Amino acid sequence: MTKNWLITGASSGLGRGMTERLLARGDAVVATLRKPGALDDLRERYGGRLHVVELDLTRLDTLRTAVAHAFAALPRIDVVVSNAGYGLFGAAEELDDARIEQQIATNLTGSMQLIRAAVPRLREQGGGRIVQVSSEGGRIAYPAFSAYHATKWGIEGFVEAVAQEVAPFGIDFVIVEPGATRTNFGAGLDRTQPMRVYDATPVGEIRRALDAGYFEFADAAKTVDAMIATIDSASPPLRLALGRSAYESIRASLIRQVEALEAQKDIALSVMEKA
């Protein structure tokens, strides 16, 4: 059975890859992007099964209008994929106010408002699925990505709460947590001016590793295939980790957290009022 999709950030990376795969198998896609011409080749190939809507998530005055156009383009939307976003790289001290505000406006506020705009429409049509593309950085943290992590940890908390609110309406969520993947994410990083004082710190180590390409990458095509297969399943998990770095880093972090929590059990319970 074919599906109808709304995908944000569809001009490149995982968003573009999903759009291509879904159209090729016969689905219909409403793709949003800031520069509509980026998908002209797909529009020529697939005609009316691809609808392109211009959308900048940081412009909240036009976001709801864009979502309304997307839902009007097709009889129903089965899956909404909140994919648009980028990374801000630099030590917290190196970041400037404007960069922090832009990172939050795009990755966190924009994603929250997209979900808020989609929920009533999915509820009115009797249900649907929302996919939030996060990152392994939504559950672990690396130096020099503090603002990025703030947005990804934030959107994951938002989604986990909203998922409980809208489950009675037949709306469910999948949070996708890719690790390092062979896309244009690295090339699109917004990098701050380095401060020499951080050269001999973990920030400097990460910066040098990025410059040298010392990372193991997941295959983008395989990642897209795994995402679509999971989204298509009847009962997908709330969170989907993809790639070796995501699986191993998240697993190690969860083990450390549980061990640390268990070590605090006595003091945690000591503050309870006596019955």
Give the domain extent around 156.
Answer: 4-243
Phi and psi angles of residue 132, each rounded to the nearest 5 degrees, phi first: -105, 115
In a domain, 270, yes or no: no
Q: How far apart are alpha carbons 82 and 102 in whole angstroms?
A: 17
Q: How far apart are alpha carbons 93 and 112 in whole angstroms?
A: 27
The residues, ordered by sequence, that sit 6+ positions from 173 with a Cβ below 8 Å of its Cβ are 129, 130, 131, 132, 159, 162, 163, 238
Segment 135-148 shows an average pLDDT of: 95
Confidence category of residue 214, pLDDT binned at 50, 70, 90: low
pLDDT of residue 217: 82
In a domain, 28, yes or no: yes
Element (H, E) at 54: strand 50-54
Say whether pLDDT at 172 is over 90. Answer: yes
Known catalytic residues are 134, 148, 152
Segment 143-157 shows an average pLDDT of: 97
Give the tens place of pLDDT for each residue, 52-85: 998 988 888 889 998 999 999 999 999 999 998 8
pLDDT of residue 179: 83
pLDDT of residue 62: 85
Percent of the chain topping pLDDT 90: 79
Segment 182-204 shows an average pLDDT of: 85
Mean pLDDT of the chain: 93
Confidence category of residue 184, pLDDT binned at 50, 70, 90: low
Beta-strand relationship, 4-8 and 79-82? parallel
Q: How far apart are alpha carbons 99 and 92 in whole angstroms?
A: 11
How many domains does the chain fold into? 1
Q: Which of 27-41, 81-95, 205-219 has the lowest mean pLDDT?
A: 205-219
Q: Are 162 and 173 in contact (CB under 8 A)?
A: yes
In a domain, 249, yes or no: no
Segment 30-40 shows an average pLDDT of: 88
Q: Are 46 and 28 in contact (CB under 8 A)?
A: no
In a domain, 200, yes or no: yes
In a domain, 174, yes or no: yes
DSSP secondary structure letter of residue 218: B
pLDDT of residue 198: 94
Give the tens place of pLDDT for each residue, 220-244: 899 999 999 999 999 999 999 999 9
pLDDT of residue 175: 98
In a domain, 45, yes or no: yes
Confidence category of residue 185, pLDDT binned at 50, 70, 90: low
Give the tens place of pLDDT for each residue, 91-117: 999 999 999 999 999 999 999 999 999
In a domain, 262, yes or no: no
In a domain, 49, yes or no: yes
CATH number of the domain where residue 199 is located: 3.40.50.720
Segment 170-196 shows an average pLDDT of: 85
